[in-house]
Amino acid sequence: MSSSVDKEVIDRANSWLTGSYDEDTKAAVKLMIQENPVELTDSFYRDLEFGTGGLRGIMGVGTNRMNKYTVGMATQGLANYLKMMFPEVNPIKMAISHDSRNNSKYFARIVAEVLSANGFKVFLFEDLRPTPELSFAIRQLNCQSGVMLTASHNPKEYNGYKAYWNDGAQMIAPHDNNVILEVQKIKNIEDVKWHGVRENITLIGAEIDKIYLDRIASLSLSPESIRHQNNLKIVYTPLHGCGRQLVPEILTRIGFNNINIVKEQAIADGNFPTVHSPNPEEHSALDMGIQLAEKIQADLVMATDPDADRVGIAIRNHKNEMILLNGNQTASILFYYILNRWKELGKITGNEFIVSTIVTTRLLSIMATFFQVQYYECLTGFKYIADVIRKHENEKKYILGGEESYGYLIGDFVRDKDAVSACALIAETAAWVADRNQSLFDLLIQIYREFGFYKESLLSVTKKGKSGAEEIQQMMVSFREKPPVEINHSRVIVIKDYLLLKVHDKVKGTETLIDLPKSNVLQFLLEDGSIISVRPSGTEPKIKFYFSVNEKLRDPGAFEQTEKRLDAKIESIIASMKLR
């Protein structure tokens, strides 16, 4: 049956039938060779690569799968690179954490053993901890790097490996590319130092939790509002992930005493048995939280993903119905509250800044102008927000950053998106508006009236396997070679190509340069103010289409009708681009 498989794939698979691979692995490879050529190809047609989030892939045997061998080889490559970059540091220090996914703890232990065998000082969290706490620990313990074992919000079949630099941020160029080169030099598993040195590994936990939560508590801007509204009914679900301890703890610490946890989803379980996908971007992930909220008439629902770096929320509208907010709407509320409170408290001096990405709502840049803070825009991915913070940290004051994919960071003591601190400040925002006899929904309407009703939507098109990756690549080639002249009966007036780093103004007939790293992203700006962005995912077999439309909201009573028009406009754009 293997005759239909490329020779290179067969050779790669056969190499796993010799050497020091364990017998279970060899048996699984033999079975694929004999019976499953499609799975064989997907498992061995390439090496699992560092993308925008490090390693991420389906668990299983093979060079293109997450398993102890690919994890070990990646770790040895990372270790080799760190030795080159920090030759005067002895020992090099690393922090390691993991989430609730199947095999995450096992993979974390392998990473710790390989690093310790290389003579590194390893700080290993004793149990699952959020991604942002890993970022915090790297900075707190003066580590040169760190690794988080997680596949974030992906389905249960996936796991991943996020590599961090000494500032607590995920690696960017040149480090990410250089680590890939070092990993590629690891030709077989015999090149890996597998035998850990126990005395080089230190378990950490509660002591880091306390310092981390203390720093989050210091972000509070309205303690008096929390005191007045301490009985605000909050529903929280960790979606079987690692927010289960720290999110309720920080809410309690800053003063809330009516926190209701979805008990069925508070159990750490990598099979995520109560959800189709543990992704707060998907509405169904919040179903159980909303059911509990309706039962107890809660004001706010918050759900974090398995590694607790993203948060999705539901709030009550004017009809007392629970409605889900998208990531841009939550960002708009959070940014408005924090910027407004900084202004009220006299903390804005003109030297402060906020950050978001090229596919995040334009509302944030408009708010920055209104509140007289500087605004920076970066590529998609929180590592680029962290890079902006790093570049300006000695001269300007960072307030907060966020992206449309439900990730937010308040304060700079963490350098990745942080759902633990975001939950604290979202709950505080709810208390602040309640102190003014308003709701979060009222605040959202107020924002739309002041700055314009911006509505965004995301369409992800999945293309699995080798053929899918090739199809996605061809779609981007087609958009570049034959860009649309108009979309949904509106002229394309500007094309931004972040791979060529050029802005083509079709009205003025000019080309200008983009001062950002290269990225395979296209943006089409339409005459009617709509924006369509196209971006292949760096961590998943998807191509993503981002849509932004807007109009003025003159009357709060016209919210529903305006939203329906904007939603219909997005659907018309999708239809005109033949994406469904």
By annotation, the residues acting in catalysis are: 152
Q: Where are the alpha helices (DSSP H) in 188-297?
A: 206-217, 223-228, 246-254, 287-296
| Complete DSSP assignment for 460-509 | EEE--HHHHHHHHHHHHHHHHHS--SEETTEEEEEEEETTTTEEEETTTT
Instruction: Determine the distance from the C-alpha atom of residue 557 to the mean position of all C-alpha atoms in its chain, rounded to a whole number.
Output: 35
**Residues in CB range of 269: below 8 A, 6 or more apart:** 100, 240
Query: Which residue in 418, 421, 388 sits closest to 135, CA to CA?
Result: 418
In the Cβ-directed half-sphere of 83, how many Cα atoms lie within 13 Å? 12
Cα–Cα distance for residue pair 485/483, rounded to 1 Å = 6
Phi, psi torsion values for 407, nearest 5 degrees = -115, 130
DSSP label of 371: H
Q: What angle do CA 376, 381, 384 make, to 5 degrees?
A: 45
Q: Pick left, alpha or beta for residue 354 (phi over 0 → left; psi -120 to 50 → alpha; otherwise beta).
A: beta
Helices (H) and strands (E) in the chain, counts: 18, 23
E-state strands within 85-138:
93-98, 121-125
Q: Which two three-digit tokens encode residue 511?
A: 């080309």
Cα–Cα distance for residue pair 525/494, rounded to 1 Å = 5
Cβ burial of 74 (10 Å; 0-12, 13-18, 19+) is buried
